[in-house]
Amino acid sequence: MEEQDLKLDGNSAAGLFRELFSFELTTARGRCDNCGAVAEVGAVLVFANAPGSVLRCPQCESVLMRIAKNGERYWLDVRGITWLEIQA
Amino acid sequence: MARAAVLGRLVLTPIRWQLCDVAELIDETPQVKTIILDAPDWPGHRAGQHVDVRLTAEDGYQAQRSYSIASAPEDELLAITVEKLDDGEVSPYLAEELRVGDKLELRGPIGGYFVWDAQQGGPLLLVGGGSGVVPLVSMLRHRAAVAPSVPARLLYSARSLDDVIYRAELDGFDVVYTLTREQPAGWTGFARRVDDAMLREVADPNAEGLAYVCGPTRFVEAVADGLVGVGYAPENVRTERFGPTGG
C-alpha cells in the first residue's frame, strides 16, 4: 500500500469532531499557521493511519492538528492552526 | 414515520450510537450491497452525509468504519451502500453475514462539508469513482424529490458495466459512464480514466455551478485538479476521499 492511498480528508474526521465539538467543524474555516492558506476543515488532508489522526494543510502539507484518543481521554494538538472560524 | 428533511443549518445534538434494525438487503453488484435500516431515533440527514458503523466482537473488540448514506433525505428509511473489501475488517461482515432482522449499531448523520441541499441550486456536476458514487446518488435522489429542474449530470467511472451500482435507477438520470477495465461488445462510451479532455466534454461548458467529486484519493485529486483546469472555481469543487481504512 502506498502512502498516497492512506491520505483522506476532513470529511473522514467529522465523526471524531462531533464527539468533541457542538458545532459542525468540517464547515469551519481555518488558517494554516505555516503558509497562511485558508481552507474549510472538510477539505484539509487527514492521515488516520498514525496513532491518532493527523490533519495537514492542503496547500503546504504542514501539520495543522493532531488528535489522539485513548479510552475516554482525548489529546488535541492545534499548533498548526492560526485561527478557526466556526459557523454557530 | 416519515423522515423530515433537515434543511439549512443543523442544530447539533451530542452524537450517540444507536441500534437500528436491518429492514432489507439489496445485492447491487457481486461486491456491493445496500443495507436498508429502520433507525427509530434518526433525526434526518442531508444528501452527502455519512454514518459511522460500529461492530463489537464477543470479547469486546470494536471496529468502526464510515459509510455514505445512499438514501435521499426524503426517503422513508435510511440506506447505506457498502462495498466489500476482501481484506476489510467491517465490510465483509456487512456484505456477507448481516441478515434482515439483525441489529446494526451506528451514529449519524455526520459531516457538513460534502453536502448538497436543493436550495444551493446548480447546475450540478457529480463525478464518482467506484463506490464513491454513493453520496452522489443520494444527491441525485434528493434533487429528483424536491428540485428536478436543477440541471445535474453524473460522470461515473467504474471498472466494468457489472460493477455499476444502481444501474437500473441511473437510467433515469443524465449519466455519463466511463468503463476503465472492461467494456461490453459494441461499447461506444468512454473507456479510460477520467482525464481533462473527458471533463471538458462532460462538464458545464462555462464551468458554472457546483461540482462534487468522491472516490479513491488519487481519483479525487486528479478530477478536482482537472475541474479547476477547465475553469471551475476551486471553492465550487467539493471533494471526499475514501481509502483502504474504509473497509
Q: What is the pLDDT of residues A6-42, one digit of tens each?
A: 789 999 999 999 999 989 999 999 999 999 999 999 9
pLDDT at position A66 is 96
Average pLDDT of the residues of chain A: 92
B10 CB within 8 Å of a chain A CB? yes
Backbone dihedral angles phi then psi of residue B72, each to the nearest 5 degrees = -80, 155
Q: Which region, left, alpha or beta, applies to residue B157 given φ > 0 means left and ψ of -120 to 50 means alpha?
A: beta
Cell numbers linked to B196: 481533462
pLDDT at position A57 is 98
Contact B113 A43 (CB under 8 A): yes
Please name the residues between 117 and 146 in chain B that touch chain A, using a CB distance below 8 Å: none
Cell numbers linked to A61: 502539507
Which structural domain range is residue A53 located in? 3-83
3-state DSSP call for residue B171?
coil
pLDDT at position A44 is 97
Bond preceding residue B109 cis, omega within 30 of 0 = yes
3-state DSSP call for residue A64?
strand
Q: Identify whether A33 is part of a domain.
A: yes
Tell me the C-alpha distance between B239 and B115, whole Å.
10
Domain with CATH 2.40.30.10 in chain B: 18-110
Tell me the C-alpha distance between B185 and B170, whole Å.
21
A26 CB within 8 Å of a chain B CB? yes
Q: Which CATH number does B118-246 carry? A: 3.40.50.80
Bond preceding residue B123 cis, omega within 30 of 0 = yes
User: By the 8 A CB rule, do B177 and B45 touch?
Assistant: no
Encoded amino acid at B78, one letter: L
CB-nearest to B12 from A12, A22, A41 is A22
A77 CB within 8 Å of a chain B CB? no
User: What is the nearest CA distance from B110 to chain A, expressed in angstroms?
Assistant: 6
User: By the 8 A CB rule, do B72 and B141 touch?
Assistant: yes
3-state DSSP call for residue B124?
strand
Cell 451530542 locates to B14
A51 CB within 8 Å of a chain B CB? no
pLDDT at position B5 is 45
Tell me the C-alpha distance between A75 and B75, whole Å.
39
User: What is the nearest CA distance from A45 to chain B, expressed in angstroms?
Assistant: 9
Strands ordered across the beta sheet of B124-129: B175-179, B152-158, B124-129, B210-216, B237-242
Q: Which residue of B has its CA nearest to A48?
A: B245
Contact A18 B15 (CB under 8 A): yes
Those residues with Cβ within 8 angstroms of residue A86's Cβ, 6 or more apart along the chain or in another chain:
A21, A23, A25, A28
- Tell me which residue of B135, B111, B136, B112 sits closest to B126, measured CA to CA: B136
Contact B12 A7 (CB under 8 A): no
Concatenated DSSP letters for B213-243? EEEEHHHHHHHHHHHHHTT--GGGEEEEEE-
User: By the 8 A CB rule, do B241 and A8 touch?
Assistant: yes
pLDDT at position A49 is 79
Alpha helices in B65-166, H assignment, sequence order:
91-92, 133-146
DSSP code of residue B190: B
**pLDDT tens digit at each of 247 positions of chain B:** 334 444 445 557 778 999 999 999 999 999 999 999 999 989 999 999 999 999 999 999 999 999 999 999 999 999 999 999 988 889 999 999 999 999 999 999 999 999 999 999 999 999 999 999 999 999 999 999 999 999 999 999 999 999 999 999 999 999 999 999 999 999 999 999 999 999 999 999 999 999 999 999 999 999 999 999 999 999 999 999 987 555 5
Tell me the C-alpha distance between B7 and B94, whole Å.
30
CATH 3.40.1390.10 fits B18-110, yes or no: no
Those residues with Cβ within 8 angstroms of residue B64's Cβ, 6 or more apart along the chain or in another chain:
B52, B53, B54, B55, B90
B240 CB within 8 Å of a chain A CB? yes
Question: Chains A, B: CB contacts under 8 A, how many?
Answer: 72
Work out how many domains chain A is built from and give that number. Answer: 1
Q: Identify whether A8 is part of a domain.
A: yes
Q: Which residue of B has its CA nearest to A11?
A: B111
3-state DSSP call for residue B181?
coil
Q: Identify whether A28 is part of a domain.
A: yes
pLDDT classification of A4: cutoffs 50, 70, 90: low
Domain with CATH 3.40.50.80 in chain B: 118-246
Q: Identify whether A88 is part of a domain.
A: no
User: By the 8 A CB rule, do B212 and B114 touch?
Assistant: yes
pLDDT at position B181 is 97
Tell me the C-alpha distance between A60 and B215, whole Å.
23
